Amino acid sequence: MKANYDRLVVLDTETTGMNREGGPHYQGHNIIEIGAVEIINRKLTGRHFHAYIQPKRAIDPEAISVHGITDAFLADKPRYAQIHQAFVDFIQGAELIAHNAPFDVGFMDYEFKNLGVSLQTTELCTITDTLAMAKKIFPGKRNNLDVLCDRYGIDNSRRTLHGALLDAEILADVYLLMTGGQTNLSFNAGTETDNASPMAPRTVKRQKSLKVIPASADEMSAHEARLDFIEQNGSCLWRQ
């Protein structure tokens, strides 16, 4: 399916751990949380996908220390098979944005394979790795999400533990600032929201206040004259 480049899905996952035996990191481990937020035309829409998933194995203690998700918490959560189609429907056709994307994509492809689905993430959407982007912008420096938040003035003080949805929201702000210097922190009013999980508020550290220079009397007079000219030749939106 051709990707819709105006529609981005910023994604993060949490997992049971990483393989320490030399094979691909996803072998023997599972995704336990998926968080994804939607951006259309560089605006956060408020639509998101969020799910906790009961894995087929115990969570490594090292992983619990990172994300705080326990086996007991996931005991009554759905298996991946139960959320697969809703997840695929949400990301299909979009440009998928993830920080260290090979990690998340590797796990996604592994879950597809375990489900017996002949499918890879690259068949659903294009992939953009913000870690690779950051390494080009800031070569030779640390480029984890916390560091990027500090560089771009994004307040991530709520991020005491990793959480897939919160990290996806923060990464959305980082990505917009990395790629254009502007981010819309307000969701579009009245937009449909997927799933019932609440969106964590994001705040941006205020930079130094801009000096406001009011227009002079001559400038105001010239402005009004220009509006008069526009009004003579049709509708003037500035006077409606």
Query: Catalytic residue positions?
Result: 162
- Is residue 87 within 8 A of residue 49, CB to CB? The reply is yes
Rounded distance between C-alpha atoms, residue 221 and residue 89, angstroms: 55
Q: 131 φ, ψ to 5°?
A: -65, -45
Rounded distance between C-alpha atoms, residue 108 and residue 176, angstroms: 24
In DSSP notation, 77-123 reads SPPHHHHHHHHHHHHTTSEEEETTHHHHHHHHHHHHHHTT----HHH
Q: 108 φ, ψ to 5°?
A: -60, -45
Cα 127–Cα 55–Cα 175 angle in degrees, nearest 5: 25
The β-bridge partners of 96 are 9, 127
